[in-house]
Each structure stands twice: as structure tokens, then as C-alpha cells.
Structure 1
Amino acid sequence: MAFVAATADAAPPKAAWRWRQPSVLPGFGPALGVTLAYLGAIVLIPLLALALKPWQLGLAGVWHVLTDPRVLAALRLSFGASALAALANAPMGLVVAWVLVRFEFPGRRLLDALVDLPFALPTAVAGIALTALYAPTGPFGAVAAHLGIKTAYAPAGVFIALLFIGLPFVVRQLQPVLQDLDPEVDEAARTLGANDGQRFARVILPAVAPALLSGVGLAFARAVGEYGSVIFIAGNLQMKTEIAPLLIVIKLEQYDYAGAAAVGLAMLVISFLCLVAVSGAQMLLARRGRA
């Protein structure tokens, strides 16, 4: 009995024993080290440098940069147009994903490939193409001008460019969820007497809502930092169509590195808060779905 008690006292703690167990996937330690080192070098250190650089101006200097009317107008346009474009892409992305997943038709593979075109197309090329289409002399821009709507060289042009680059994020986030959604659930709701609106609101939308929010958040984050496809169609007029990334480039060309970093830090903080809000909404929807 004494030997058994001594052996039990000498046994390592349960947590330590678990830590020493071999992992199912070998090389956990080196892989974790490489992961942390890579993320630190690529993500954390640049973000830390961005957070520290503006304070060379002091608190008053940073406040002066961020309250400049030109900076406020650029931030307002970038975030406002990005939010509107992401929200507009939500219903259209859902429709496109639904068509690609639920229907078979000639040219479906081609249409599915076209969704990824904004990913593959250089942003400058996209900007030139959109400008050619929506300029007052272009085919779409001429029609809009006839109706009294100015597209290119106006905030509407910024909105159009952000629509273009944001749609794939929504579609690609929704497609796997719609593929996993059992059609028999929809058919069961139909047989129980639910109409099309009820089946969409009570069966389909709750299932895809977290993925839809994720796609909207990704589209918004991508649109906020967009540069190449916007500067051609925007016109870059101060206080009107000048986006925040362009203002950062202008400050860098003027060797105002701290001022550029201050604008970048403001964009980073606002984007982070928006993504936290989206993540919180996703968690809330997931909890409601499990309830």
C-alpha cells in the first residue's frame, strides 16, 4: 500500500501528462513556431509600426491631421461607399450564388468563372475598363447622363468600382453553405404549406445568414483599401471624390510619413471595429440557430 501511494504521489499532473502526449499531426512545435514568426513578421510588426509612427507628431499633431476637412471627407467617402457597396452586394451575391448552386444551365461553368474575374484582373485594368464604360462618352455613362445621373468622376463611380471588386467575396462565402443546405428541408417546408417568402425567411435565410455576414464583412474590408480600380473612375477631386488610400499616397509623395500613417491608423481602427461588429453579429446568429 505504501508503494502504491508513493507511486501515485510521484505521478505527473494530468495536464502535464496530456501535454507530453504525441500529437496526431507531427511537428506541432516547429509548425507553431514558424506560424507565430511568420504572422509576427508579416502582420504584427507592420501593424505595430503603423500604430507607433503617427505619434511622432504628438497627440495634437495626430488630432490636427485626422480633423482636417480633406481627411474627414476622404474617410467619409471611403467608408460610406464601401459600406453601401457591401450591403448592395449582399442580395445580389445571394442571388448569384443561389443560381450557381441550385440550377443547371448552359454556360453555368463560364458564369461561375466570371465571378472570380475581379480577383484575377489587375485593379488598374479594372479601373480603366469601368471608366471607359461609365464615362459620359461610354455606353453606360451616356445612358446615365441622359437620365441626369453622373457616374464616372463622381461618388457614384466610386460605388460602382467597389461593387465590382466586392461581389466575389459574398458569392464565394455563400456557395459552400448553399451546397450543404439540404433541398429536402425546403421541400418539406413547401409541403407543409409555406409560401416562397416564408421558406426564404424561415428556412434559407437563417441558414446562410452567418456566411452572408462574413461575405459582406470581407467585401467591406476589401473595398475600404481599394485603390487601383477607384482612382481612374473617381476623378480624385478634393473634398468630393478623393478616397482615403489616395490621400495616403499623396501624403507619402509629400514626405509626410507620419501624417500618412495617422490616416492609415484611423482606417485600421475603424475597419477593425466594423469587423468586430460583424463577428459579433455572426456569433449572435449562430447562437440563435443552435437555440
Structure 2
Amino acid sequence: MFFTRTLLKRHSVLPGFDLALGFTLLYLSFIVLIPLSAAFLKTFTMTWPAFVDAVGSPRVLASYRLTFGASFAAALINAFFGLIVAWVLVRYEFPFKRLIDALVDLPFALPTAVAGIALTALYAQNGWIGQWLPFKVSFTPIGVFVALTFIGLPFVVRTLQPVLENMQKELEEAAATLGASRWQTFRHVIFPILSPALLTGFALAFARALGEYGSVIFIAGNMPLVSEITPLLIITKLEQYDYTGATAIAVVMLVAAFVLLLTINALQAWARARQGR
């Protein structure tokens, strides 16, 4: 038995742990760690008062509020409607199902600039949808929210679909047999199983929205203190050759996004642990 295990381990198709770990760390260092470290190192050349002035001006604070607020709201909306879309695509059969399933991935494949132009044309005051709305969408913070919702939906749907496909319908039937209502079945049987995947989809949609640029700048109007997002402000700083100011704002975004993702990952771990009890 020992000889067989040693032979299988020695002739494994994949490389050993040490080699694989080395390649992993090397790849992550070049792709992720070194670029992020460069931003932090550039910021360290600033004095503390200069850093506070760069990241705490009224214009920058307004962009933080819009970026994080719209991203969070869009991720929440996508978590709710993404669950419904994933449920329909998995549980029901209907005409053109494959076409609708493919349309979910359209925000992935569509260039962000094309998405921004299309959304602006639709929601402008003379657009197909905007002309019928009692409020203005394009060139307002609402337009930012619409664009972020558009690009974030696939992350939720594609995260939930495999979990729904693997979920056993017998659990729902057993709950119905025991007298549970539909709401009780969803709350006590289905939702605990879906919650880790739903949190993952929410986190991915939220993180994607934080860094979105191309689809937002066309529909936002980019008015300072009103509809200017933080990624656009970073680009503006770079165009003005204010590299330290741009990296300072970028570092704040990195730290905030990292803390939020850690929090969401902790919630996912708590949901999995509770599900396993």
C-alpha cells in the first residue's frame, strides 16, 4: 500500500506541491503584488498632510460616496434579480431559453465603451426609454447606478447557477411533505444553501463595479461633486501629471475594497459553517 501511494505521488500528472507553489507565488507577484506595491511605494513619497489633502478634498470625498454607494446599491439589486434570473434559467423550460442564457453574458463580451454609449442613447431625455421616464437618468448619479447594474448582473447569475443545478429537489419535496409553506421552504431550506454563492456573486459584482470606468463615463456626465466617479478622478489626476495624487486616491480605493472583500469572505465562511451544522 505504501509503495502504491509513493508511486502514484511520484508519477503524478500535475507538478509537485513545491513547484506548483513556486509558480503560483511567482505569477501572483508579477501580476498582482508588484503593481499594487508600486502604488503604495509611490504614495510613501508624500508627506502625511499632502496625503490627507489629496484623498480628503470635497471633490474626492464626493467621488467616494458616489462610487461606493452606487456600487453597493447595484450589487444589491443584482443579488436580488440575479437570484431570480438564475432560478428561472435552471428550474424552468421555455422557448429561447438558450438565447436568454447567452444574453446574460453580454455585459462580459460587450466593450465597456459600447455599453456606455448604448445606455446613454437609451436613457437620454430623448432616448427610447428616457423620454418616458418622469426623471432624468443620463448625466446624473442614477445613470451611474444603471451602468453598474448592467455590468454586474452576470457575476451573480453565473455564480448561483451551478449551485442551483446541483441542489436536490428532494429537499424541497421533503419540506413540503412536512407541511412547510413555500416561504418557509425557501427561507429554511433553499436560502441557507444558496447564501454562500449569493454572497460570492454580490462580492464579485461589487468589486467589478468599484473599478468600472468605460461604461460609466458616457452616461454619468462626469460633473465634479455630482456624477464624477473615483476611477475617472484618478485618470484626471494622471492627465494633469499629478501622479502622487492619483496613486494616493488609488491606494484608498485598494484598501477600502480589500477590507470590504475580507468582510464579505468572512461572512461567506460564517454562512458555510452555519450551513454545515
- Same structural fold, with TM-score higher than 0.5 when normalized by the shorter chain: yes
Letter in 2 for 1:118: P
What is the CA distance between 1:23 and its match in structure 2? Answer: 7.1
Long gaps (5+) in structure 2: 1-5
Aligned equivalent of 2:77, options 74, 80, 88: 88
Provide the identity percentage: 57
What is the rounded CA distance, in whole Å, between the counterparts of 1:26 and 1:251 in structure 2?
46
For each residue in 1:204-239, what CA deviation from the matched residue of structure 2 results, as whole angstroms up to 9, or x when unmatched? 111000000000000000000000000000000000
After TM superposition, the structure 1 = structure 2 runs for residues 126-145 of structure 1, keeping only pairs within 5 Å, are: 126-144=115-133
Query: Of 247, 267, 274, which residue of structure 2 is paired with 1:261?
Result: 247
Q: Does 1:188 align with 2:188?
A: no
Deviation by residue 1:255-289 (Cα, 9 ceiling, x = unmatched): 01110000100000010111011001111111111
Deviation of the 1:191 alpha carbon: 1.7
Assess if the C-alpha contact under 8 Å between 1:55 and 1:258 holds in 2: no
Query: CA-to-partner distance for each residue in 1:151-193, whole Å, 9 max, x for gaps?
Result: 1110000000000000000000000000010011111111221
Letter in 1 for 2:95: P
For 1:258 and 1:58, how far apart are their aligned partners in 2?
A: 11
Paired position in structure 1 for 2:203: 217
Count of equivalent residues: 269
**Per-residue CA distance 1:78-125 (angstroms, 9 max, x = gap):** 011000000111110000000000111111100110000000000000
Please give the residue correspondences for 1:138-217 in structure 2 after superposition, counting only pairs within 5 Å: 138-144=127-133, 147=134, 149-217=135-203
Who is 1:247 aligned against?
A: 233
2: CA distance between counterparts of 1:286 and 1:120?
32
Aligned counterparts of 1:213 and 1:26: Cα–Cα separation in 2: 32
Q: Relative to structure 1, is the Cα distance of residues 188 and 255 closer, same or farther in structure 2, using a 3 angstrom cutoff?
A: same
Counterpart residue type for residue 276 of structure 2: R
Correspondent of 1:45 among 34, 39, 50: 34
Name the SS for the 2:45 alignment partner. helix
Instruction: Tell me how large the CA RMSD over aligned residues is.
Output: 1.2
Find the residue that maps to 1:90 and give its secondary structure: helix
Q: Which residue of 2 aligns with 1:114?
A: 103
TM-score when scaled to structure 1? 0.90
2:256 aligned with 1:270: yes
Q: Is 2:57 aligned against 1:68?
A: yes
SS at match of 1:136: coil
Task: State the Cα distance separating 1:55 from its structure 2 match.
Answer: 2.1
Q: Distance in 1 between matches of 2:27 and 2:268?
A: 28
Q: d(CA) in 2 for partners of 1:98 and 1:26?
A: 36
**Amino acid corresponding to residue 234 of structure 1 in structure 2:** A
3-state SS of 1:139 partner: coil
Alignment deviations for residues 53-77 of structure 1 (CA, whole Å, 9 cap, x no partner): 1122211111111111100101110
Q: Structure 2: how far apart are the matches of 1:111 and 1:23?
A: 45
Residue from 214, 230, 247 that aligns with 1:228: 214
Q: TM-score under structure 2 normalisation? A: 0.94
Q: Is the 8 A contact 1:177 1:208 kept in 2?
A: yes
Q: Secondary structure at the residue paired with 1:237? A: coil
Q: Is the 8 A contact 1:94 1:170 kept in 2?
A: yes
Secondary structure of the residue that 1:95 maps to in structure 2? helix
Match of 1:22 among 10, 25, 40: 10
Distance of 2:48 and 2:57 partners within structure 1: 14
Which residue is equivalent to 1:3?
Answer: none
In structure 1, the gaps of 5 or more residues are 1-17
Shift, 1:25, TM fit: 4.2
State how far apart, in whole Å, the 2-side matches of 1:95 and 1:253 are. 43
